[in-house]
Amino acid sequence: MQQHTGNRPRVIIVGAGFAGVFAARELAGADCDVLIIDRNNAHAFLPLLYQVATSAVESEHIAAPVRGIIRNMGPKAANLDFCMAEVRGVDFDQRLVLAEGQDGINLELPYDYLLLAPGSVTNTFGTPGVDEHAFSLKNLEEAVRLRNHILRSFEAAAWTEDVEQRQHKLCFVVVGGGPTGVELAGAMAELMAGALRRDFPRLGLASPCVTLLEAGDGLLPGFPEKLRAYARKKLTALGVDVRVGAAVERVTHEGAHLKGGELVQAATVVWTAGVKGEPVAARLGLAVAPNGQALARPTLQAQDRPEVFLAGDICRAEHAGRPLPMFAPPAIQEGRHAARGILRLLGGQEPQAFRYFDKGMMATIGKKAAVVRLGRFSFRGLPAWLLWLAVHLTYLIGFRNRLFVLANWAVDYFLSERCVRLISRRNPLS
Amino acid sequence: MQQHTGNRPRVIIVGAGFAGVFAARELAGADCDVLIIDRNNAHAFLPLLYQVATSAVESEHIAAPVRGIIRNMGPKAANLDFCMAEVRGVDFDQRLVLAEGQDGINLELPYDYLLLAPGSVTNTFGTPGVDEHAFSLKNLEEAVRLRNHILRSFEAAAWTEDVEQRQHKLCFVVVGGGPTGVELAGAMAELMAGALRRDFPRLGLASPCVTLLEAGDGLLPGFPEKLRAYARKKLTALGVDVRVGAAVERVTHEGAHLKGGELVQAATVVWTAGVKGEPVAARLGLAVAPNGQALARPTLQAQDRPEVFLAGDICRAEHAGRPLPMFAPPAIQEGRHAARGILRLLGGQEPQAFRYFDKGMMATIGKKAAVVRLGRFSFRGLPAWLLWLAVHLTYLIGFRNRLFVLANWAVDYFLSERCVRLISRRNPLS
């Protein structure tokens, strides 16, 4: 069945993230066959990973099976198909995607047009000890792993007699003051001041021990100055020790070692300080920027390969002379634009240049506290938080997921309760 | 902190299953300190494991964190505490539980009274190949593993060109015609005829390929004859190939080999044909029956150790001259009775003999189809199914879990949809 037997041209989309899914929606019902390839069988809503890590929502509720997404598009999506496989290479001359399917099946999948949207991975910038000692937050498994670890640290601390050792287990460092670091640090502080303080009365937790380290001169680079100051003030009010100008030189089991020699003690260090393009781009021989992003033409076509498009975190696209950040909104717009470019080629037209429509940016800090820049306007506090909730529910795929996440948020809001306090055990064989 | 510093006697409960949790509720507010030990931080509602395995409910929704259970009992439960640890041994003379906590902490936990309720494990009866080739369904991890495997089998089949190989991947065998086997086989057939048939239109699934093998002369031994015949008829109507008198001799990657030489081909074999007492009972040197259950006095006290009680699947208790089955209702009643025995000893009285109150038994087959024996009455079909739903929701711990499971059931009922079709990836480090 792996041969493409249709008479219509075939588009292969690599990656079922924001870029891939929104491209697929654009291509549903068009006069071509579309195959989405992903190593997972589900699209994951990565902006809420930090909520999985802090016991607020179930990992299943921020994941939407790709076959379900296709089904929910209705009959017009009959030209869409899915393949759960790991992409091993691309033969650009023969126009073949080489992939390994389930049970080790070798797949050679011919395409007429290819959209590469494999996303990004954590960038440690070569900082010693990060790979061995720090947690990361780039996919569902890492989020569940961090959740398990936070809860297990408290279970361990509860039975540690030595006061210093106990305190060490209860101290957490988040490295990186971008949206992910800010949201995670705030949610961790709320988890510890709420549900975990009540779960562990004998520990007598006075305030959470969460430190947020940012190498630059302030949190949330790229946001308006007022919002950056507000975020810092709010995080501090939640009990987070915010430290700017604190560059991490290495990570050990003792904690984060700063440039200058200071040690910020913590048994747990979470690294959210950087992302880079999926290494697959370089492996495929595409021209890449130093951060691993593949260089694209203004039309999002790969250089020298007009039938290959790039979208999402893997794609080096610019806006107002600067590279776009690796956020969801650029990925969504690029995915749509790349799909439209393919449709234009199918119709005998040339693709148009991509122009990013900057709607703005947002980050949440805690209950009733968020920062939003909307075009030229910026606001914060409750209205920003409500808008953050609405936007995230809107882009979360699946009615049921929205309902369940909203229910969890309501419990969290009214009871300061985090319900998903489950330490899942290692599964040796799955 | 691991020393018991209180002046009151301490009760240690090993195991937070039905027996342990219901015992703890009985002891909340009593004049003793109670410590619950479990290797997991959550009580798992095992009767719904088959629904986790068939993508119907989230594993998180049938788990209730033990610390949350304690908190929800209110202020009177201030005498209850929890320790997440693996029990390594018991020094019965010194009255110490030896356990390994998180981070490898060695714990020596003194007790005055001990309630052992560690549950049961799968019994393969030494059948060759079961450990290597068959799936099991005794805990959350195994349920998630089976869910992942079923979904992955379909993803693999969708890209397998060889027709025979493809068909083999789509064939499933369930061994064991007790409630677990019947419920799993029915739910698998419904999953495949509903959500998966729609997810994989290109596979052109006509009917599910699920075979249920039972060595005895009929399904659901112990149920009234009418209900047993009904269960078989209903399963067959769902597309399950029910075979009785089919004893499995060994399991290989080809499928289940029956006594007599026949091979029932299937890439996936699930073993639900037996349970036995947790091996910890024998390791502790307790007198055990051939099925691993520890022998108990009529009061549920261990032989020769009046301060040690047994409850749940580990406990060999009798009713009407026959050993009680390893189901939830006996575990709940035994847990309560053992706790009352401890309270009597604390009050200077002798424990009373345990008497099982047989409310009945139930099993579900599929949508609107279940069998229930209630005392002397037996019924089936829609009323039985509704009662099954009500009883399971009642004993599921946690308001939120009930709400979410009910929401999932509603989606399943009205849309024949299974929402949790997520293949979770192996987490190498958690």
pLDDT value at position B428?
42
Tell me the H-state helices in B43-176.
49-53, 66-72, 130-133, 140-157, 163-169
Under 8 Å CB-to-CB from A348, ≥6 apart: which residues? none
What ipTM does the predicted assembly reach?
0.94
User: How many angstroms separate the CA of residue B221 from the nearest CA in chain A?
Assistant: 32
B412: left (phi over 0), alpha (psi -120 to 50) or beta: alpha
Average pLDDT, whole number, for chain A?
94
pLDDT value at position B411?
84
Nearest CA in chain B to A70: B199
User: How many angstroms separate the CA of residue B57 from the nearest CA in chain A?
Assistant: 10
pLDDT value at position B424?
86
Expressed in angstroms, the distance from the first to the final Cα of chain B is 26
pLDDT of A6 strictly over 80: no
Nearest CA in chain B to A409: B400
Query: Out of B26, B58, B183, B278, which one is annotated catalytic?
Result: B183
Q: Measured between CB atoms, which of A140, A398, A422 is closest to B63?
A: A422
Helix (H, G, I), strand (E, B) or coil at B334: helix
Residues in chain A closer than 8 A to B107 (CB atoms): 159
Residues in chain A closer than 8 A to B421 (CB atoms): 41-42, 65, 67-68
Q: Per the CB < 8 Å rule, is A105 touching B411? A: no
Q: What is the mean pLDDT of residues A98-114?
A: 97
Q: Per the CB < 8 Å rule, is A427 touching B423? A: no
pLDDT of A412 strictly over 90: no
User: How many angstroms separate the CA of residue A118 from the nearest CA in chain B?
Assistant: 17
d(CA B389, CA B370): 10
pLDDT of B429 strictly over 50: no
d(CA A180, CA A192): 18
> Under CATH, which number does the domain B130-273 receive?
3.50.50.60
Own/partner pairs, A21-25, CB within 8 angstroms, 24+ separation: A21/A66, A21/A69, A21/A335, A21/A397, A22/A331, A22/A332, A22/A335, A22/A336, A22/A339, A23/A115, A23/A117, A23/A311, A23/A335, A23/A336, A23/A338, A23/A339, A24/A69, A24/A70, A24/A80, A24/A339, A25/A73, A25/A336
Tell me the pLDDT tens digit for each residue of A385-406. Answer: 999 999 999 999 888 889 888 9
Q: Measured between CB atoms, which of A140, A159, A423 is closest to B105?
A: A159
Q: What is the mean pLDDT of residues A345-374?
A: 95
- 3-state SS, chain A, equals CCCCCCCCCEEEEECCCHHHHHHHHHHCCCCCEEEEEECCCEEECHHHHHHHHCCCCCHHHHEEEHHHHHHHCCHHHHHEEEEECEEEEEECCCCEEEEECHHHCEEEEECCEEEECCCEEECCCCCCCHHHHEECCCCHHHHHHHHHHHHHHHHHHHCCCCHHHHHHHCEEEEECCCHHHHHHHHHHHHHHHHHHHHHCHHHCCCCCEEEEEECCCCCCCCCCHHHHHHHHHHHHHCCEEEEECCCEEEEECCEEEECCCCEEECCEEEECCCEEECCHHHHCCCCECCCCCEEECCCCEECCEEEEEECHHHEECEECCEECCCCHHHHHHHHHHHHHHHHHHHCCCCCCCCCCCCCEEEEEEECCEEEEEECCEEEEHHHHHHHHHHHHHHHCCCHHHHHHHHHHHHHHHHHCCCCCCCCCCCCCCC
User: How many angstroms separate the CA of residue A200 from the nearest CA in chain B?
Assistant: 8
| Band of residue A42 on the pLDDT scale cut at 50, 70, 90 | very high
Q: Measured between CB atoms, which of B1, B60, B155 is closest to A58?
A: B60
**Of all residues in chain A, what percent carry a pLDDT higher than 90?**
87
Task: Tell me whether residue B58 is one of the annotated catalytic residues.
Answer: no
User: How many angstroms separate the CA of residue B214 from the nearest CA in chain A?
Assistant: 27
Tell me the pLDDT tens digit for each residue of B185-223. Answer: 999 999 999 999 999 999 998 889 999 999 999 999 999
Q: Per the CB < 8 Å rule, is B140 touching A425? A: yes
* Contact yes or no for B17/B66 (Cβ under 8 A): no
| Band of residue B399 on the pLDDT scale cut at 50, 70, 90 | confident
Q: Per the CB < 8 Å rule, is B1 touching A63? A: no
Query: Residue B419 has what DSSP assignment?
Result: -
Nearest CA in chain A to B101: A156
pLDDT of A286 strictly over 70: yes
Under 8 Å CB-to-CB from B115, ≥6 apart: which residues? B11, B12, B13, B14, B19, B20, B23, B308, B309, B310, B311, B335, B338, B339, B342
- Residue closest to B65 by CA, chosen among B48, B45, B50, B88: B45
Q: Measured between CB atoms, which of B105, B148, B159 is closest to A430?
A: B148
Q: Per the CB < 8 Å rule, is B407 touching A403? A: yes
Residues in chain A closer than 8 A to B169 (CB atoms): 103
- Residue closest to A172 by CA, chosen among A250, A259, A126, A239: A239
Under 8 Å CB-to-CB from B390, ≥6 apart: which residues? none
Q: Measured between CB atoms, which of A59, A61, A83 is closest to B159?
A: A83
**Of all residues in chain B, what percent carry a pLDDT higher than 90?**
87
Tokens standing for A420?
Answer: 């998903």
* Contact yes or no for B57/B48 (Cβ under 8 A): yes
Residues in chain A closer than 8 A to B63 (CB atoms): 422
Query: Out of A58, A183, A214, A278, which one is annotated catalytic?
Result: A183
pLDDT value at position B5?
65
Q: Nearest 5°: phi and psi at B413?
A: -65, -50
Q: Measured between CB atoms, which of A41, A139, A427 is closest to B155?
A: A41
Nearest CA in chain A to B56: A60
pLDDT of B425 strictly over 80: no
Nearest CA in chain A to B423: A41
Considering chain A, tell me which residue range(s) the CATH 3.50.50.60 domain(s) occupy. 10-122+276-346, 130-273
- Residue closest to A169 by CA, chosen among A181, A161, A177: A161
> Under CATH, which number does the domain B10-122+276-346 receive?
3.50.50.60
Q: Per the CB < 8 Å rule, is B422 touching A41? A: yes
pLDDT value at position B430?
39
User: How many angstroms separate the CA of residue A393 from the nearest CA in chain B?
Assistant: 18
Q: How many CB pairs under 8 A join A and B?
A: 169
Q: Per the CB < 8 Å rule, is B199 touching A161? A: no
Tokens standing for B151?
Answer: 């979904």
pLDDT of A172 strictly over 70: yes
Nearest CA in chain A to B71: A199
pLDDT value at position A394?
92
Q: Measured between CB atoms, which of A40, A83, A148 is closest to B423?
A: A40
Q: Per the CB < 8 Å rule, is A40 touching B425? A: yes
| Band of residue A430 on the pLDDT scale cut at 50, 70, 90 | very low
Helix (H, G, I), strand (E, B) or coil at B305: strand
| Band of residue B320 on the pLDDT scale cut at 50, 70, 90 | confident
Going from the C-alpha of B91 to that of each of A309, B88, B98, B280, the distances in angstroms are 68, 10, 7, 13
Average pLDDT, whole number, for chain B?
94
User: How many angstroms separate the CA of residue A177 from the nearest CA in chain B?
Assistant: 25
Q: Per the CB < 8 Å rule, is A158 touching B40? A: no
Q: What is the mean pLDDT of residues A307-330?
A: 93
Tell me the pLDDT tens digit for each residue of A206-257. Answer: 889 999 999 999 999 999 999 999 999 999 999 999 999 999 999 999 999 9
For the four alpha carbons of A352, A353, A358 and A364, in that order, the dihedral sign comes to: positive
Residues in chain A closer than 8 A to B199 (CB atoms): 65, 67-68, 71
Q: Per the CB < 8 Å rule, is B81 touching A423? A: no
Residues in chain A closer than 8 A to B84 (CB atoms): 152, 155, 423
Q: Per the CB < 8 Å rule, is B67 touching A200? A: yes
